[in-house]
Amino acid sequence: MPEPTEIERIKIHQQKIRQVFAEVGKIVVGQEYMLNRLLIGLFTNGHILLEGVPGLAKTLTVNTLAKVLHLDFQRIQFTPDLLPADLVGTMIYNQKLGNFEVKKGPIFTNLVLADEVNRSPAKVQSALLEAMQEKQVTIGDTTYYLDKPFLVLATQNPVEQEGTYPLPEAQVDRFMMKVFVSYLDKTSELEVMRRMSNMSFNSEVNIVLDKADIFAIRDEINRVSISETLEKYIIELVFATRMPLDYGLREEAAYIQFGVSPRASINLNLAAKATAYFNERDYVLPEDIKEVAHDVLNHRLILNYEAEADGITSSQIVDVILKKVAIGR
């Protein structure tokens, strides 16, 4: 058989992505939005921060996704007594050989679920930050590169705040997206109850993609085109958070302490390309940018105490920005 053309390969990969949703859906009910964001992060090399109350299948979704993609997976429960060595590894003494050997930690995997990441102290968060940003860790005097692909999926519990160490803004900014995971609707919860109450429920899934497919999809997303008009639109959205008065956002300006960082424009571009690719297009539409804007911008927009006192959220500010900032401004 002749080799498939580039267009045929893209169609095959896009069909496989739909199969990924179907396979994960065999186990996880009603979390297609979260799965979509996880795949955007994976295919654009960006880390994802998940926030939601316990029991919303965050761990189950990531674990199932790792099986469907045939990737190594590690779940790390972050606690106040966790040490950096528990994350990255340490040097241990071998009595038989009389020397020190490296024992690598659970960070050496493809998908890392950092569960309740805000419960660990600053030193552990700093070790995770190096791994996220540099794709490497240091043990002793030696630097070790992490496996590819490498993706950190961190969770936060918004309910219990006792004994937590809030993530510094610099570390939160390293996450491509912050995704708020909400409760299921009644129909989905009914299906979850039925599945989990069935002792003979089959939790097996099929492998759909492998590492070679993931890297190929990354290249294909990178070739999705975005017009100069839409590139400038992304820049205008970003600058509206920094200089809101220039965009007629007088009320919102009173609540913004700091606008979003340059990572916002980079990640908004990448996420929009991935969204277009998932929708089987090789070009970006304004709707692709708007669809991912909240998840990319929310956690980077720092509001002041007046906003907290008046009950104003960053999501509300982003809503106004999307309405006020025109394309081709």
168: Cα separation from own chain's centroid: 17
The structure tokens listed for 197 are: 């109450």
Q: Are 181 and 42 contained in the same domain?
A: yes
Contact 72, 111 (CB under 8 A): yes
Helix (H, G, I), strand (E, B), or coil: what is residue 60?
Answer: helix
Residues sharing a CB contact under 8 Å with residue 316, sequence separation 6 or more, in sequence order:
none
Helix (H, G, I), strand (E, B), or coil: what is residue 73?
Answer: strand
Q: Are 181 and 312 contained in the same domain?
A: no
**CA-wise closest residue to 38 among 61, 19, 60, 9:** 61
Q: How far apart are CA 28 and CA 203, in angstroms?
A: 10
User: What share of the chain has pLDDT > 70, as a percent?
Assistant: 96
Q: How far apart are CA 257 and CA 39, in angstroms?
A: 32
Helix (H, G, I), strand (E, B), or coil: what is residue 317?
Answer: helix
Q: Are 123 and 251 contained in the same domain?
A: no
Domain range enclosing 101: 6-214
164: pLDDT confidence band, cut at 50, 70 and 90?
low
329: pLDDT confidence band, cut at 50, 70 and 90?
low
Instruction: Name the DSSP class of 200.
Output: T
Q: How far apart are CA 232 and CA 237, in angstroms?
A: 9
Q: Are 69 and 187 contained in the same domain?
A: yes
Is the residue at 210 inside a domain?
yes
42: pLDDT confidence band, cut at 50, 70 and 90?
very high
Compute the average pLDDT of residues 159-178: 76
Q: Are 233 and 208 contained in the same domain?
A: no
Q: Are 134 and 200 contained in the same domain?
A: yes
Q: Are 183 and 36 contained in the same domain?
A: yes
Q: What is the pLDDT of residue 328?
A: 72
Domain boundary among 214, 238, 264: 214
Give the count of alpha carbons within 13 A of 227, CB side only.
Answer: 9
Peptide bond preceding 149 in cis form (omega within 30 of 0): yes
Q: Are 257 and 184 contained in the same domain?
A: no
Domain boundary among 153, 180, 214: 214
**CA-wise closest residue to 71 among 175, 213, 181, 202:** 213
Q: Counting every residue, how long is the chain? A: 329
Q: How far apart are CA 18 and CA 223, in angstroms?
A: 20
Q: What is the pLDDT of residue 203?
A: 73
| Average pLDDT value over all residues in the chain | 87
Is the residue at 1 inside a domain?
no
Helix (H, G, I), strand (E, B), or coil: what is residue 75?
Answer: strand
CATH of residue 47's domain is: 3.40.50.300
What is the CB neighbour count within 10 angstroms for residue 105?
A: 21
What is the CB neighbour count within 10 angstroms for residue 64?
A: 22
Strands 111-115 and 136-139, sheet pairing: unpaired
Is the residue at 219 inside a domain?
no
Considering only 230-234, 249-253, 273-277, which range has the smallest mean pLDDT?
249-253
**CA-wise closest residue to 234 among 206, 199, 201, 262:** 262
Q: Are 181 and 233 contained in the same domain?
A: no
Q: What is the pLDDT of residue 275?
A: 96
Is the residue at 164 inside a domain?
yes
Considering only 21-25, 123-127, 196-200, 230-234, which range has the smallest mean pLDDT?
196-200
Using CA atoms, how far residue 307 sits from 38, 48, 78, in Å, is 30, 25, 30
Contact 96, 53 (CB under 8 A): no
Number of compact structural domains in the chain: 2
Type of residue numbered 237: L
State pLDDT tens for residues 79-102: 888 888 888 888 787 777 777 777
Report the run of H or E that residue 256 belongs to, with start and end: strand 256-258
Q: Residue 43 above 70 pLDDT?
A: yes
SS3 labels along 89-156: EEEEEECCCCEEEEEECCCCCCEEEEECHHHCCHHHHHHHHHHHHHCEEEECCEEEECCCCCEEEEEE
Q: Residue 12 above 70 pLDDT?
A: yes
Contact 275, 37 (CB under 8 A): no
Q: Are 138 and 30 contained in the same domain?
A: yes
Q: Are 168 and 84 contained in the same domain?
A: yes
Q: Are 96 and 196 contained in the same domain?
A: yes
State pLDDT tens for residues 178-236: 998 888 889 888 988 888 787 677 678 888 998 999 999 999 999 999 999 999 999 99
